[in-house]
């Protein structure tokens, strides 16, 4: 269970992992201190382990930099919930083992206590006492996420299967 | 059974069976590449996977184009990590001065009908040659380099039919900005865009690459052009005519959507801060003073882009309150622009010409914006903070708009000076 941090529509990877910290990309814990800084400068220092990033449409548009979902994860976030995701960002989340959940985030307010049940495919809003059902991931992504991400998957199988 | 789209044909060829939009398949990858913003993580991922060799090193390229040459010691170390791994594994290294990955790919590596994955979102630029190029993250590309394969969902296709004659001062950049402004920055998420029509037939490969490049700004997975005589000529100029193959969607292919664009009435367009789909006509912009003009990038750093800008700037001097930075897309572009006097024109007008690369676009060097500064750039993105300070403002336009703006010091309609 964790707290919802609300963000708007079209949060780009330039906002999640700003280019002016390009030189920190090989030092992810340092880069994570600036995660989502232009959108909410207090986020990186105040996010608690198990919290959720909750956004509107087209979260993660822009660059392919995988550092963006990496530092959301390193900052302590449990999962990203959004109305929709940009394609590359979505794939990156699953590859690094960060659940990216597509659901109606209008039903979640800032600070709501959230619980994610991947098995049942529901987001429980403990504050509002409601449940949001989400569609399961495509099978191939589900398998990658289930095995802990693409590195773990390839380490285990030395191949790609679908 | 209906016919197939370009995407269905190319992906089918790479997984050894007939495929249809919506299917998920494993495909063989022809070409994989990374750049220095994503490459160090790719190297680390391959080490974590326990596969430190490339499946096909001669079809794997490490480009150092983003922070090139390195402006900071942390990045110098990142570059060394890439160089060292390339040396040990036989991967091709494209080092400082060679320029942008996507443009080098068009010049030297990409072939019509290829599947290309790059750890850079603008890998879709390869669609200009009829290659299915798509951007992925460092881990996905690490897997593709290691295994020679990736998984892929066959995308549905939006057929974009572009007809009419481009008016003066209006270029392929304006066509793609018009499309993104119309369908929005997630209007084509997970889809392939395929461009066709009279206007497209007349566009050079360079002009097409601007549109293929920005397809991702509408969320698309690929932006494709059928290889035709223009493609053949381009490949011939690059000494690779044998790479040419004919390839097009079947007449009875199923397109999820058809989008018509008539360019006759189009005017130069501007994407205003801070999203690429905030598209306005230049006549609606009003007075916007500009601190920096940036001409270059994977979107508009090609020789014909430089020619468009130079033809307006020739014999004039840039506005004293505006700095103008020109960054050629590749070494080849740089040499050609040097030989034909284009570079001299820029320098005489008061511009700075940098070496080939991504330049100021990624906010790491060669023209970082400060607090409150305004830039007019030919690049593909204007997201908040992209070029430096989060309180700076990036406007996107075509190379003629950039040149007119360089002279006036405020965003200006190039048709008045052409």
A9 pLDDT above the threshold of 80 = yes
Task: Please check whether residue B1 lies inside any domain of the structure.
Answer: no
A162 pLDDT above the threshold of 80 = no
Q: Is B372 exposed, middle or buried (0-12, 13-18, 19+ CB in 10 A)?
A: exposed
Residues B137 and B166 grouped into a single domain: no
Beta carbons of A112 and A122 less than 8 angstroms apart: no
Check which CATH number belongs to the domain holding B131 and give it: 3.30.499.10
Task: Please check whether residue B165 lies inside any domain of the structure.
Answer: yes
Residues B278 and B409 grouped into a single domain: yes
Q: What is the total count of domains within chain A?
A: 1
Per-residue pLDDT at A88: 98
Beta carbons of B99 and B331 less than 8 angstroms apart: yes
3-state DSSP call for residue B198? helix
Residues B145 and B16 grouped into a single domain: yes
Residues B11 and B142 grouped into a single domain: yes
DSSP string, B105-119: IIIII--TT-EEEEE
Residues B140 and B188 grouped into a single domain: no
CB contact under 8 A, B24 and A149: no
Task: Please check whether residue A158 lies inside any domain of the structure.
Answer: no
Q: Is the dihedral of CA B376, B411, A15, A97 positive or negative?
A: negative
Beta carbons of B12 and B115 less than 8 angstroms apart: no
Q: What is the total count of domains within chain B?
A: 3
Per-residue pLDDT at A135: 87
DSSP character for A146?
H
- Name which of B143, B346, B112, B406 is nearest A153 in CA terms: B143
User: Which pLDDT tens digit goes with each residue over A14-72?
Assistant: 999 999 999 999 999 999 999 999 999 999 999 999 999 999 999 999 999 999 999 99
Q: With contacts defined as CB-CB under 8 Å, which chain B residues touch A61?
A: 185-186, 219
Residues B46 and B148 grouped into a single domain: yes
Residues B111 and B183 grouped into a single domain: no
Task: Please check whether residue A25 lies inside any domain of the structure.
Answer: yes
Task: Please check whether residue A89 lies inside any domain of the structure.
Answer: yes
User: Which pLDDT tens digit goes with each residue over B257-277?
Assistant: 999 999 999 999 999 999 999
CB contact under 8 A, B186 and A91: no
Task: Read off the tokens for B213.
Answer: 């490049």
Q: Which positions ≥6 away from A13 have C-beta within 8 Å?
A: A60, A61, A62, A63, A64, A65, A68, A89
Q: How big is chain A, counted in residues? A: 162
CA of A4 vs chain B CAs: smallest distance (Å): 23
- Exposure letters B228-267 (e unless 16+ CB within 10 A, then b): bebbbebbeeeebeebbeebbbeeebebeeebebebeebb
Cα angle for residues B25, B121, B208 (degrees, 5° grid): 95
Residues B274 and B412 grouped into a single domain: yes
Mean pLDDT of B65-83: 98
Could you report the predicted ipTM of this complex, rounded to two decimals? Answer: 0.97
User: Which pLDDT tens digit goes with each residue over B14-56?
Assistant: 999 999 999 999 999 999 999 999 999 999 999 999 999 999 9
Terminal CA-to-CA distance of chain B, rounded, Å?
Answer: 51
Task: Please check whether residue A105 lies inside any domain of the structure.
Answer: yes
Q: With contacts defined as CB-CB under 8 Å, which chain A residues touch B221?
A: 87
CB contact under 8 A, B275 and A10: yes
Residues B395 and B273 grouped into a single domain: yes
CB contact under 8 A, B140 and A23: no
CB contact under 8 A, A162 and B136: no
CB contact under 8 A, B49 and A27: no
**End residue of a domain, out of B111, B135, B152:** B152
Residues B234 and B273 grouped into a single domain: no
CB contact under 8 A, B383 and A12: yes
Residues B169 and B65 grouped into a single domain: no
Check which CATH number belongs to the domain holding A115 and give it: 3.20.19.10
Task: Read off the tokens for B291.
Answer: 């601190």
Task: Please check whether residue A16 lies inside any domain of the structure.
Answer: yes
CB atoms within 10 A of CB B89: 16
Task: Please check whether residue B375 lies inside any domain of the structure.
Answer: yes
Residues B256 and B380 grouped into a single domain: no
**Nearest-angstrom CA–CA distance, B155 and B165:** 30
Task: Please check whether residue A82 lies inside any domain of the structure.
Answer: yes
| pLDDT band (50, 70, 90) for residue A161 | confident
**Nearest-angstrom CA–CA distance, A141 and A162:** 9
B11 pLDDT above the threshold of 80 = yes
Alpha-carbon separation of residue B116 from B65, B128, B141, B224, B317 (angstroms): 18, 12, 10, 12, 42
**Partner residue opposite A138 with nearest CB, options B24, B38, B78:** B24
Report the residue of A7, A8, A9, A14 to disrupt the B interface, i.e. the one with the largest count of B CBs within 10 Å.
Answer: A14
DSSP character for B315?
T
CB atoms within 10 A of CB B338: 13
CB contact under 8 A, B41 and A86: no
CB atoms within 10 A of CB A129: 7
User: Which pLDDT tens digit goes with each residue over B129-175?
Assistant: 999 999 999 999 999 999 999 999 999 999 999 999 999 999 999 99
Write out the residue range of the structural domain in which residue A126 sits.
2-136
Per-residue pLDDT at A120: 94
Q: Is the dihedral of CA A32, A38, A40, A46 positive or negative?
A: positive
Report the residue of B137, B143, B150 to disrupt the A interface, i.e. the one with the largest count of A CBs within 10 Å.
Answer: B137
B1 pLDDT above the threshold of 90 = no
User: Which pLDDT tens digit goes with each residue over B191-250?
Assistant: 999 999 999 999 999 999 999 999 999 999 999 999 999 999 999 999 999 999 999 999
User: Which pLDDT tens digit goes with each residue over B106-136?
Assistant: 999 999 999 999 999 999 999 999 999 999 9
Q: With contacts defined as CB-CB under 8 Å, which chain B residues touch A154?
A: 49, 51, 143, 146-147
Mean pLDDT of B375-389: 97
DSSP string, B142-164: HHHHHHSEEEEEPPPEEEEEEES
Task: Please check whether residue A157 lies inside any domain of the structure.
Answer: no
Write out the residue range of the structural domain in which residue B142 sits.
6-152
A111 pLDDT above the threshold of 90 = yes
- Name which of A66, A84, A68, A99 is nearest B186 in CA terms: A84
Q: With contacts defined as CB-CB under 8 Å, which chain B residues touch A138?
A: 24, 153
């Amino acid at each position: 269970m964790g707290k919802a941090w609300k963000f708007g529509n079209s949060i780009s990877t330039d906002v999640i992992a700003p280019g002016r910290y390009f030189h920190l990309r090989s030092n992810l814990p340092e880069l994570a201190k600036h995660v989502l800084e232009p959108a909410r400068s207090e986020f990186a220092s105040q996010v608690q382990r198990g919290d959720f990033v909750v956004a509107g449409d087209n979260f993660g548009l822009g660059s392919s930099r995988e550092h963006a979902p990496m530092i959301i994860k390193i900052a302590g976030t449990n999962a990203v919930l959004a109305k929709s995701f940009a394609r590359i960002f979505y794939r990156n989340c699953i590859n690094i083992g960060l659940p990216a959940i597509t659901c109606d985030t209008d039903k979640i307010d800032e600070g709501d206590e959230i619980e994610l049940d991947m098995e049942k495919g529901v987001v429980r809003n403990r504050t509002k006492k409601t449940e949001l059902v989400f569609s399961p991931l495509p099978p191939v992504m589900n398998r990658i996420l289930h095995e802990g991400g693409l590195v773990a998957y390839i380490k285990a199988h030395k191949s790609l299967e679908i | 059974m209906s016919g197939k789209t370009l995407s269905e044909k190319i992906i089918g060829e790479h997984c050894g069976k007939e495929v249809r939009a919506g299917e998920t398949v494993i495909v063989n990858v022809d070409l994989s590449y990374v750049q220095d913003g994503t490459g160090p993580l790719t190297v680390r991922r391959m080490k974590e996977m326990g596969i430190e060799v490339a499946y096909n090193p001669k079809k794997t390229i490490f480009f150092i184009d983003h922070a090139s040459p390195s402006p900071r010691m942390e990045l110098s170390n990142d570059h060394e990590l890439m160089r060292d791994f390339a040396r040990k594994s036989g991967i091709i290294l494209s080092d400082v001065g060679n320029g942008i990955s996507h443009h080098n790919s068009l010049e030297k590596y990409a072939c019509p009908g290829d599947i290309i994955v790059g750890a850079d979102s603008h890998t879709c630029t390869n669609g200009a040659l009829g290659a299915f190029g798509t951007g992925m993250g460092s881990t996905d590309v690490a897997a593709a380099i290691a295994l020679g394969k990736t998984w892929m969902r066959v995308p549905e296709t939006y057929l974009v039919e572009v007809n009419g004659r481009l008016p003066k001062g209006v270029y392929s950049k304006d066509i793609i900005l018009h499309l993104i402004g119309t369908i929005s920055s997630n209007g084509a998420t997970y889809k392939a865009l395929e461009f066709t029509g009279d206007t497209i037939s007349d566009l050079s490969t360079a002009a097409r690459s601007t549109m293929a490049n920005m397809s991702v700004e509408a969320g698309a997975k690929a932006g494709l052009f059928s290889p035709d005589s223009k493609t053949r000529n381009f490949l011939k100029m690059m000494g690779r005519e044998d790479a040419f193959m004919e390839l097009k969607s079947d007449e009875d292919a199923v397109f999820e959507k058809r989008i018509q664009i008539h360019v006759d009435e189009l005017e130069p367009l501007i994407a205003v801060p801070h999203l690429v789909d905030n598209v306005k006509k230049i006549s609606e912009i009003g007075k916007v003073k500009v601190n920096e003009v940036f001409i270059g990038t994977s979107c508009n750093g090609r020789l014909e882009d430089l020619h468009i800008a130079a033809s307006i700037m020739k014999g004039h001097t840039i506005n004293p309150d505006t700095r103008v930075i020109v960054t050629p897309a590749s070494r080849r572009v740089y040499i050609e622009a040097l030989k034909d006097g284009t570079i001299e024109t820029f320098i005489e007008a008061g511009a700075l010409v940098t070496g080939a690369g991504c330049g100021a676009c990624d906010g790491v060097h060669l023209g970082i914006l400060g607090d409150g500064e305004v830039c007019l750039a030919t690049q593909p993105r204007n997201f908040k903070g992209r070029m430096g300070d989060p309180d700076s403002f990036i406007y996107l336009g075509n190379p003629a708009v950039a040149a007119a703006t360089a002279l006036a010091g405020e965003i200006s309609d190039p048709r008045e000076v052409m």
